Structure 1
Amino acid sequence: MAAGSAGVSSVAAHERPTPPHAPEVVASGLNAPRQLAFSPGGALYVAEAGTTGTSGCQPSPLDPTVQACVGLTGSVARVGHAGRVTRVVTGLPSAGTPTEPLGPADLVFTGTHSFALTIGLGGDPAYRTAFGPKGARLGTLVRVDLMPRHHRGPRVTKLADLTGYEARVNPDGTDIDSNPVGLARARGGFVYADAGANAVNSTRHGGSTVAVLAPVPTTQPSPVGPPGFPADAVPTDVVKGPDGAWYVSQLVGFPFEKGASTIWRVVPGHAPTAYATGLTNVTSLAFDHRGRLYAVEIAADGLLSGPIGALVRVRPGSTAPDVVAGGLFAPYGLALRGHHAYVTTHSTEPGAGQVVKIDL
C-alpha cells in the first residue's frame, strides 16, 4: 500500500457547514495503528504495528527486491484525556518494510487490566526464524497483563503459536503463509482471522479451523493473469453477531478489485454464506447495540487506486454498503461506543497514525 500524508484544512463553520458525519481527530502521533478496543473501564486502547527495525533483514515475501527487517517497535497505546497517547506496552515485534509494517494487530480484553493480542507476520515459520530472537513473537497470540502481581511493568506471555498452526494444518491447502490479524473472544479460547492463511481458526484444544474462504475470481485482466485469475480471499476481521454466528470480513488480494469483498456469515460446521456483497478491501467489522453492522474499507476504490477509504454501514443481503464517512486516509480499525465510531487512520504510517471519532 502506498503511504503518504493528507493535510487537514480548517474552514469557518459559516463558510462550510460541517457534514453530519465529519471525523474528529481524537488521537494522533501513532505508529501504524490497526485495531482498537475499549477496556471494561471505558478506556480506548490501540494496537500499533510499529516502525519495523534494522535487524534480521531478509528479502520480503511480497517483493524479494526489497528487504524486510525486524525491530521491537510494536506497541499498544492508551488514548487518554484530550487525546493524550500513552504507550502502555512497548518492545513488541514489528517486521516488514517501513511502508508495510506488521506487528501488533488486534486486542480483546479478558479482564479489567488484561487483554489478548494478535501479532502479525506475513510469512512462514522459516521467515520468522530468520529474523532472530526479536521476531520470536511474530505470528503468535499473546496475553498482556497490565498490572501483574510481583512484576514491574506489563507482563507479556505467549498463549498460542498461530503461525505454527498454519504450518501444521494449512487449512486452504496452498502455500504456508500466516498473518493473524482480527481477533474475537470465544468460549474456551479465541477465534482469529489469518489473512495469510485465508482461514478463520480457533485456539481451542490446540487449534482448529472454523472456516476457509475460497479464492475470489478477478473480473479484469492483471499483470499476472487474464480475467478470472483467483485472488486470495484475505480474511481480516471476525466478530460475533447478535445471532451467535461469526461474521468475517475480507480484503481480497491483488489486484484488490473494487466491489470484490464479501462479508461472510459463519456457523461452525457449515460452509460460509454471504451476508453482504459489493464491498471493497474491508479491514474491520463491528455491530452496534441495535444489531447494525459497520465496516471499514481501507480503500473504497481498491488499493491500486490509493488508500482512500470509508466507514460504511452494511445491510443484510445488500450488494453495496451505505457510506457513513468517506475520504478517510488508510483507515483500518473500528470500535463502537454509544453513538460514535472510532476508526484508526493513516494505518501504515510511522508517527502519523490517528484515531478519529465519527457520529453515527
Structure 2
Amino acid sequence: MSDPTTRQTPLLYVTAITALLSGCTPMPAPVVHQGTVVAQGLNGPQGVHVSADGTLWIADSGTGGPGTFTTPGGPGSTEPTTNNYGDTARLVRVSPGGVSTDVAMLPSVAGAEGAEGASRVADLGGKLYITSGHWSAGASIEQLPKTTALLRLDGNSTTEIANFWTFEKANDPDKQGADSHAYGLAAGPDGKLWVTDAGGNDLLRVDPMTGMIALVTVFDNLPNANPGPGVPPSSQAVPTGIAFLNDGAAYVSLLPGFPFTPGSSKVVRVASDGSKTDYATGLTMTTDLRTGPDGNLYAVELGEFGEQGPTPGTGSVIRIKAGGVKETVLSGLDTPTSLAFNQNGDAFITVGGAAAPGTGQVRRWDKLTTKAALTPSALSQ
C-alpha cells in the first residue's frame, strides 16, 4: 500500500521490487526436497503456531478480492496505486491427523507490495490471537474492518482487541508518516501480547483484557553502506519477529529495507526500560525469531536479494546461541517466513511466503533443535 523503496513493510513488498526488476510476476516456488509437507496450497503464508496438542495454526495472506481503492503513487509518480481487497486471508487449522480447515476468513489487500493479510498467531491464556493487515495514510476509503489489528479467535469468528492504525495515526512514533503493519506477535512473560509494527517501525505491548496499546520502543533507520542513485542513504528498520529468553528482555529481528544488503539484518535486545543493544548481527532479511525448547533463539532468513529479486532456494534457519553466536541449521529454503516448535524440538516452517499464490507450504523438520550446525562444506553442496 506504499512505495516499497521508501515506506518499508516486512515481506511481500519484496515481490513488488521483484516484479519491477524482472518485468514479470514473482517467480513460482521451486520444489524443496527437504522436510515433510504438512500443509500446501497456501497464498503467501506468514505465520505458523503449534498448540500443545499438536494442532497447527497458519496465518495466510490471501489474494486480495473484488473491492478496489487507491493510494498515492510513489516518489515522482502522479498516478495513484490501485489496491484490491476481499476476505481471502485465512486462519488455517491443521489437526494432528493432518486435516486442514479454514477456521476464519480475514481481510486481504493486494497492491504493489503483493497481498497482505493475516500475519502471525500466538496463544495466551488458552486463547489464540492473530495480527492482521496493513494500512497507510492517503487511502481513498476508510480503514477496512479488522486490518492493522490484533484479533482474538472466538469459535469460528474473530474479535478485534486492538487497532494499531488508530494508535499510529494519533502518535506516529517514528515520525515518518502514518503507516502501520501489525506483523510480529508473541505472548510475553508479563501476560501481555507484544507486537512489532513493521510499517511504524516500533515495538508495542497490548493488554489483552483492555486492548490498551503501549509503546515500548522505536527502531531507528539503519544506514546503507553505499548510497547513491536508486539507493537511499538509510533503510527503515522493519521489525519482524519477537522472542523472549529468561532475562526479562524482548528480542526483535529487523529486516532493513531496500537494497536488502546481505548481512545488514540483525537481532536487537530490548530491555525492560526500552533501551536497545545489538544481540546478533550479520543476518540477511530476517523474517521471524523464535525460542526453541533448547533455550536458543532461531532466526528465519528469507533469502538473498539478487538482480531479479529474492533468489529462490537461498532462505535459511539460523540458531543463535548465548552471546549472539550463529549457526546455520537449515539452508536452501524458498522464501521462508516463519517457524514454530513443538516440545520435541520439531520445527514447522512456512515456505513460499514471497512466491506465487498457491505455492506456499508448511513443512516439518523433525528434532531440528538437536540438528548439528551445517559445515561450510555442507552448505556448498
Q: TM-score higher than 0.5 here? A: yes
1:326 maps onto 2:339 in alignment: no
Between the aligned partners of 2:197 and 2:245, the Cα distance in structure 1 is 19
Q: Whole-Å Cα distance in 2 between the matches of residues 55 and 120 of structure 1?
A: 16
* Structural mapping, 1:219-230, within 5 Å: 219-225=225-231, 229-230=233-234
Q: Is the 8 A contact 2:29 2:359 kept in 1?
A: no
Q: Report what 1:280 is aligned to.
A: 284
**Distance apart, 1:315 and its partner CA:** 2.9
Is the counterpart of residue 293 in structure 1 residue 334 in structure 2?
no
Percent of aligned positions with the same letter in both sequences?
32
- What 5-or-longer segments of structure 2 have no aligned partner? 1-14, 19-25, 369-381
Deviation at 1:111, TM superposition (A): 4.8
TM-score normalised by the chain length of structure 1: 0.85
| 1:166 alignment partner, one of 165, 168, 177 | 168
- Letter aligned with residue 123 of structure 1: S
The answer to whether structure 1 residue 115 and structure 2 residue 128 are counterparts is yes
- Aligned residue among 29, 32, 37 for 2:49: 37
Alignment of 1:47-126 (within 5 A): 47-59=59-71, 66-80=81-95, 83-90=98-105, 92-97=106-111, 100-112=114-126, 114-124=127-137, 126=138
State the shift of 1:306 in Å.
2.7
Secondary structure of 2:31's aligned partner = coil
1:145 aligns with 2:161: no
1:57-95 alpha-carbon deviations (Å, 9 max, x no partner)? 3147669664221111011011235643211112x1000
Report SS of the residue matched to 1:57: strand
Match of 2:23 in 1: none
User: Cα distance, 1:172 vs. partner?
Assistant: 1.3
The aligned counterpart of 2:198 is 195
- Work out whether 1:267 is the aligned partner of 2:271: yes
The amino acid of 1:285's aligned partner reads L
Q: CA RMSD in A?
A: 2.4
Q: Secondary structure at the match of 1:179?
A: strand
Residues 137-190 of structure 1 show CA distances to partners (whole Å, capped at 9, x for unaligned) of: 1111111112xxxxxxx1311101111111111111221111010111233531
- Where 1:171 maps in the other structure, the secondary structure is coil
Give 1:52's aligned amino acid. G
Once the two structures are superposed, residues 78-123 of structure 1 have per-residue CA deviations (whole angstroms, 9 ceiling, x without a partner) of 1235643211112x100023872111101112354x3111102142
Q: 1:209 aligns with which of 215, 221, 238?
A: 215
User: Across the two proteins, how many residue pairs are aligned to each other?
Assistant: 333
Q: 1:98 to 1:166 in 2, by over 3 A?
A: closer
**Structure 1 residues 305 and 354 mapped into 2: Cα distance closer, same or farther (>3 Å)?**
closer
Q: Kindly indicate whether residue 271 of structure 2 is the aligned counterpart of residue 248 of structure 1.
A: no
Cα pair distance change 1:353/1:61, threshold 3 Å: farther
Q: What's the CA shift for 1:25? A: 1.9
CA 60–87 in structure 1, closer or farther in 2 if over 3 Å, else same: farther
List alignment gaps of at least 5 residues for structure 1: 11-21, 147-153
Determine helix, strand or coil for the equivalent of 1:178: strand
CA distance in 1, matches of 2:230, 2:278: 27
Distance 1:282 1:145 in 2: 31
